């Protein structure tokens, strides 16, 4: 079955990972800007990183027969540094017209500090001003509920930003309902240790239905799984869910959300009708 992984940090993955994802049916990935594993020492470091996301990664993906799109933003971990954040945010508007840039992300909160909330709010304002889609990171573990509540409260301050243009990622059992009730999209992240397993993600789809729910692997430089979505598909099949339902979650839903950007295009020859064929 063809699928789209809306959250994959491919800059930290090997070319073999691209190939394996393509072999298992992945036709497109979108890559949010994120923390490199260490704090960057200058705003110029972001210039090079954004150039990698916009220029180099699409070429690696294309070699495997996949589309690569990106999001630009000041990641939650480094957004606590206000001096750095201000400089990085000044750079982003000029990059938004890039042909593979879908919007602002991943933005949000890490430790839920005052500085993080300020930087996050400024980036939501930037997205609203420029009519961009938004991809939001919610905090890990014990800060998840508090951080998600603040995340949603900030979004409500910007009525010019349609709720349907916002994906609140890393949702879990205690946050997914509030995200969906707000009219936003909710992302279920198939990631070991700090997010959700495939069985937990299927549980939530069984409880809430497929409307405005997405799944992704969020593979990065840490312990993570570039083939998380195919394993989710296997779990859905193990529970005897229909191919139509699986197809909706892993293909139709991301196409519906990402397709709100006029830049999003599937590879030549890939259509919704053909997407249920084996990858």
Q: How many CA atoms lie within 13 A of 255 on its CB side?
A: 18
The stretch 95-116 carries a mean pLDDT of 98
Q: Quick: pLDDT tens for 25-79.
A: 999 999 999 999 999 999 999 999 999 999 999 999 999 999 999 999 999 999 9
- Give me the chain's average pLDDT, please: 95
Q: Please state the length of the chain.
A: 279
The stretch 217-231 carries a mean pLDDT of 95
80, 48 contact by CB (below 8 A): no
The CATH homologous superfamily of the domain defined by 3-258: Metal-dependent hydrolases (3.20.20.140)
What is the percent of the chain where pLDDT is above 70? Answer: 97
The stretch 107-135 carries a mean pLDDT of 98
Q: What's this model's pTM, rounded to 2 decimal places?
A: 0.95
pLDDT of 120 reads: 98
pLDDT of 272 reads: 58
- On the question of pLDDT at 163 being above 60, the answer is yes
Q: How far is CA 228 from the centre of its chain?
A: 14
- Within 8 A by CB and 6+ apart from 153, the residues are none
Place 140 in a pLDDT band, splitting at 50, 70 and 90.
confident
- Determine the Cα angle at 193 with ends 70 and 107, to 5°: 30
35, 58 contact by CB (below 8 A): no
What is the percent of the chain where pLDDT is above 90? Answer: 92
Q: Quick: pLDDT tens for 189-207.
A: 999 878 899 999 999 999 9
- Within 8 A by CB and 6+ apart from 91, the residues are 43, 46, 47, 50
pLDDT of 56 reads: 98
């Amino acid at each position: 079955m063809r699928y789209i992984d809306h959250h994959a940090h491919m800059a930290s993955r090997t070319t073999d990972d691209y190939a394996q994802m393509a072999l298992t049916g992945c036709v497109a990935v979108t890559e949010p800007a994120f923390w490199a594993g260490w704090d960057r020492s200058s705003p110029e470091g972001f210039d090079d990183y954004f150039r990698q996301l916009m220029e180099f990664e699409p070429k690696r993906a294309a070699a495997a027969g996949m589309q690569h799109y990106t999001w630009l933003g000041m990641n939650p971990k480094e957004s606590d540094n206000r001096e750095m954040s201000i400089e990085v945010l000044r750079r982003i508007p000029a990059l938004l017209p890039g042909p593979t840039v879908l919007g602002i992300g991943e933005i949000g909160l890490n430790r839920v500090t005052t500085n993080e909330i300020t930087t996050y709010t400024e980036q939501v304002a930037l997205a609203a001003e420029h009519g961009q889609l938004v991809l939001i990171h919610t905090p890990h573990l014990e800060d998840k509920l508090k951080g998600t509540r603040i995340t949603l409260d900030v979004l409500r301050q910007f009525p010019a930003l349609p709720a349907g243009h916002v994906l609140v990622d890393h949702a879990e059992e205690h946050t997914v309902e509030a995200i969906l009730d707000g009219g936003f999209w909710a992302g279920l992240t198939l990631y070991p240790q700090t997010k959700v397993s495939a069985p937990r993600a299927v549980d939530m789809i069984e409880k809430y239905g497929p409307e405005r729910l997405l799944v992704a692997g969020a593979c990065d430089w840490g312990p993570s799984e570039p083939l998380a979505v195919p394993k989710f598909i296997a779990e859905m099949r193990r529970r005897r869910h229909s191919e139509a339902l699986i197809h909706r979650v892993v293909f139709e839903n991301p196409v519906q959300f990402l397709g709100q950007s006029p830049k999003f295009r599937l590879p030549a020859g890939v259509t919704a009708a053909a997407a249920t064929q084996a990858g």
